[in-house]
Amino acid sequence: MSGYNKIINQSGTGAEKKTKGHWWMTVAPLYGFTILFVALPILYLIILSFLTRAQTWGVVNQFTLENYARIVKPVYLNTFKESFQLAILTTITTLLVGYPFGYFMARLPRKQKSFMMLLVVIPFWTSALMRMYGWIIIFRSNGILDKILMGLKITEKPLKLLYSYPAVLVGMIYSLLPFMILSVYSSTDKMDWSLVEAARDLGATRLKAFLTVTVKMTLPGILSGIVLVFIPSMGLFFIADILGGGKVMLVGNLIQNQLQSGRDWPFAAALSVVLMIFTSIMIWLYRKLSGVKDLEGLL
């Protein structure tokens, strides 16, 4: 806490305090909450990852590096690799599908924008589990889709569409699409369209104007969308369990298994720390690419 005060004092006596004033008050809640309810619990998580599992139940306070050593076993590295592949695939597809949607949404007449925003989010207010069961009823063998296709004589035998890697991918995309749509939308919405027009006036083709001006200006939205899609797709275990028929093992599933049937909390913690470091690299790239330096002087 004293460090925190020191920081405030420093900023108060800093050289360029022209625009500072009382700005510390706006970040104080974030600082306080983050330090108390995020940093401290995560510190505990890191400590836990160096402890030893008890023989039957619980944790023994005995330092070990064994948990991290176990992660490099091929079987667990493979799980990380597969999760990463799926997350990348999910992110790219979500971007390709979601960007146009968010972009078109921002070009809607004003009155329809907020309505559209709600239309996009409302499906996600119903339980994800129920939505997954909805998909299963449609796509399973002899399900609604099969009956339609076989009724139209397009297929003869029931398809086996579910419980596979592609089914998990589609489920991921479906579940994470709104993050991309809304990210793209919120950065496209306040875009200065006159710049696109200027580029067009200067002779740029529509495509070129889009690539050079629009994409560049919506880059922060694209990046936050990528982060918001990529990160959860590493850990969404229930989609793998339900649409993947329990056959796809992602890092999220692995951690869940270690915590439940494995009863190995320290190993689960170590897996989480590694996952955290891994996704942090993504966040770092995001921060690198979408710096907020040029915001000074807005107010």
Partner 1 sequence: MRKTWKRSAALAAAVVVLSTGIAGCGGNETSKAPETGVAESQEEKGTAQGSPEENPSGGGELNIYTWAEYVPQSVIDRFEEETGVRVNYTNFEANEEMLAKLETSGGGDYDIIIASDYIIKLAADEGLVKEIDLEKVPNYGNIDPIFQGFFYDPDNAMTVPYGPGIPLLVYDPAMVECEITGYESLWDPSLEDSVALMDSERVVMGMALKTMGESFNTEELDVIRAAGDKLMELAPNVRVLSQNQTQDYLLSGEVNAAFLFTSQVVLALAENPDLEVVYPEEGLGFGVDAAFIPVNAPNSDNAHAFLNFILDGEIGAEVSQQTYYLCPNKAAYEFLPEEFQKSLVISTEDIPNGEFIQDVGAEATALHEEIWTEFKAKLD
Partner 2 sequence: MKKGRIRCSAIYQAVLLALMYLPIVVVVVYSFHASKSTIRWQGWSLDWYRKLAGNRGLLEALKNSLILAGLSSGAAGVIGTLGAVGMARVNWKSKGAVEYISTLPIMIPEIILGMVFMAFFAAMGLPFGMVTLVLGHTSFCIPYVFMMVKSSLVGLDKSLGEAAKDLGASEVRVFFDITLPLIMPAVLSGMLLAFAMSLDDVVISIFVTGARTNTLPIRIYTQLKSGVTPEINALCTIMLAVTFVIVGLSRMLGKKAPARG
Binding to partner 2 (CB under 8 A) within 154-193 occurs at 174, 177-179, 182-183, 185-187, 189-190, 192
Closest approach of partner 1 to the CB of residue 204, in Å: 27
Tally of CA atoms within 13 A in the half-sphere of 126 that contains its CB = 9
Residues 189-218 that bind partner 2 (CB under 8 A): 189-190, 192, 217
Closest approach of partner 2 to the CB of residue 283, in Å: 6
Judged by CB under 8 A, the residue of 6, 247, 284, 289 near partner 1 is 247
- Alpha-carbon distance of 2 to 123, in angstroms, equals 46
Contacts of 94 (CB under 8 A, 6+ apart): 173, 176, 177, 179, 180, 225, 229
Among 247, 232, 244, residue whose Cα is nearest residue 135: 244
Judged by CB under 8 A, the residue of 68, 95, 124, 143 near partner 1 is 143
- Alpha-carbon distance of 229 to 241, in angstroms, equals 19
Interaction partner, residue 150 (partner 1, partner 2, none; CB < 5-8 Å by kind): none
Per-residue string for binding with partner 2, 230-269, x by CB under 8 A? Answer: -xx-xx-xx------------xx--xx--x-----x--xx
For the chain, where are the E strands, in sequence order?
A: 52-53, 59-60
Residues 37-96 that bind partner 2 (CB under 8 A): 37-42, 44-45, 48
Judged by CB under 8 A, the residue of 79, 91, 186, 233 near partner 1 is 79
Q: Does residue 235 belong to the site contacting partner 1 (CB under 8 A)?
A: no
Tell me the one-letter amino acid at 246: G
Residues 104-163 that bind partner 2 (CB under 8 A): 104-105, 107, 111, 113-135, 137-138, 144
Q: Does residue 101 belong to the site contacting partner 2 (CB under 8 A)?
A: yes
Tally of CA atoms within 13 A in the half-sphere of 130 that contains its CB = 5
Q: Using an 8 Å Cβ cutoff, are 168 and 135 in contact?
A: no
Q: Using an 8 Å Cβ cutoff, are 184 and 102 in contact?
A: yes
Residue 274's φ and ψ, nearest 5 degrees, are -65, -45
Q: Which is nearer to partner 2, 140 or 164 (CB)?
A: 140
Q: Using an 8 Å Cβ cutoff, are 42 and 11 in contact?
A: no
Residues 116-135 that bind partner 1 (CB under 8 A): 117-118
Residue 139 token pair: 């796509």
Among 228, 268, 226, residue whose Cα is nearest residue 79: 268
Interaction partner, residue 165 (partner 2, partner 1, none; CB < 5-8 Å by kind): partner 1
Residues 49-68 that bind partner 1 (CB under 8 A): 53-58
Q: Which residue has the tokens 């001006």?
A: 213
- Alpha-carbon distance of 67 to 69, in angstroms, equals 5
Interaction partner, residue 196 (partner 1, partner 2, none; CB < 5-8 Å by kind): none
Question: What residue ranges bind partner 1 (CB under 8 A)?
Answer: 53-58, 73, 75-76, 78-79, 82, 110-111, 113-114, 117-118, 140-143, 158, 160, 162-165, 241, 244-249, 253-254, 257-264, 267
